[in-house]
Amino acid sequence: MAQPPVLLETQALTRSFGGLTAVDNLDFVVRKDEIVSLIGPNGAGKSTVFNLISGIYPPTAGRILFKGVNIAGLKPDRVERQGIARTFQTLRLFANMTVLENVLVGFHSRLKSNVIEDLIRPPWVARAERDAVEEARQLLRMLGQRLYTQQEFRAADLAYADRRLLELARAMASQPDLLMLDEPTAGMNPSEAADFMELIRRVHDRGFTILLIEHNLSVVMGVSQRITVLDYGLKISEGTPDEVRRDERVIEAYLGRKAATA
């Protein structure tokens, strides 16, 4: 069977901070419709890879091809307009805005409105806004009844796991071709994390390609088609969950000796 087309590809992607090489000559690929995970010990360089792809930092060297175009060094808003959305390891919601408003922020890269249009507000802008509100509501409903019924709550007043969910909703709102999630279950209890990963599967089933950073290994193994493993910025392994699980280098770097005998 032919493989799906490559959506994202990094080539020799490198980023140094002073004397520290946080990401070192990294090559990896995400194909359309995959769930690919990046794993590795603390400080391995996972979030830096996201920061490079999403334009928060320019790479020191290397290329980032997205749909065949080199996006390395583009500013975050430009990257977003190319079709990449992300969440952050630590939440970045607008705490005093409502749930619905936070999701609408995610639509901004799709709404064509600008400051002048906001002032004179021609009818088509109002219509686009109404459509966006309706779409935002549908998105919240898709992500579960709880968030949907709390759409007028302030983000700050949501339970922690629901705030994580809202971050996901906001990233999905721009209908990205690639959705990048940085430790979305961080800080959740095991049952919340399990529910969340079930949801990630459903999001994937709705046609989202996902690049996931996740600390919880059982979660990663269950949900990913392929896994790339980083250690000190270097790729030390990649493959299917089964391949990665059995790889000596991964066991040494990440899983610990106990996992080898489990």
Ligand X SMILES: Nc1ncnc2c1ncn2[C@@H]1O[C@H](COP(=O)(O)OP(=O)(O)OP(=O)(O)O)[C@@H](O)[C@H]1O
**Binding residues for ligand X, per CB under 6 A?**
17, 20, 22, 40, 42-48, 89
For residue 67, is it left (φ>0), alpha (ψ between -120 and 50) or beta?
left
Among 7-15, 44-52, 202-210, 223-231, the segment contacting Mg ion (CB under 5 A): 44-52
Least distance from C-beta 46 to Mg ion, angstroms? 5
Q: Which residue has the tokens 């000796």?
A: 257
Q: Which stretch in 23-31, 62-70, 86-94, 249-257 sits in contact with Mg ion by CB under 5 A? A: 86-94
Which of ligand X, Mg ion, none is residue 212 near (CB under 5 to 8 Å by kind)?
none
Choose the stretch contacting Mg ion; rule: CB under 5 A; options: 6-14, 88-96, 98-106, 132-140: 88-96
Q: Between β-strands 84-86 and 178-182, what pairing exists: parallel, antiparallel or unpaired? A: parallel
CB of 57 to ligand X, least distance (A): 7
Q: CA quadruple 2, 207, 76, 223: dihedral positive or negative?
A: negative
Angle at 78 between CA 5 and CA 104, to 5 degrees: 95
191 φ, ψ to 5°?
A: -75, -40
| Nearest CA among 41, 36, 42 for reference residue 255 | 41
Residue 17 touches which of ligand X, Mg ion, none (Cβ within 5-8 Å per kind): ligand X
- In three-state secondary structure terms, 8 is strand
Number of H helices, E strands in the chain: 12, 10
Contact of residue 40 among ligand X, Mg ion, none (CB under 5-8 Å per partner type): ligand X
Stretch that binds Mg ion, among 25-33, 45-53, 105-113, 167-175 (CB under 5 A): 45-53
| Contacted by 48, from ligand X, Mg ion, none: CB < 5 to 8 Å by type | ligand X
Q: Does 37 bind Mg ion (CB under 5 A)?
A: no
Amino acid letter, 201: R
Footprint of Mg ion on 46-85 (CB under 5 A): 46-47
Q: How far is the CB of 231 from ligand X (least distance, A)?
A: 9
Q: Is 216 in the site for Mg ion (CB under 5 A)?
A: no
Give residue for tokens 């619905």.
100
Quick one: 42 or 114, whose CB is closer to Mg ion?
42
Q: Residue 175 gets which letter from DSSP?
A: -
DSSP of 86-112, one letter per residue? Answer: E--SS----TTSBHHHHHHHHTTTT--
139 versus 184: smaller Cβ distance to Mg ion: 184
Sites of contact with Mg ion (CB under 5 A): 46-47, 89
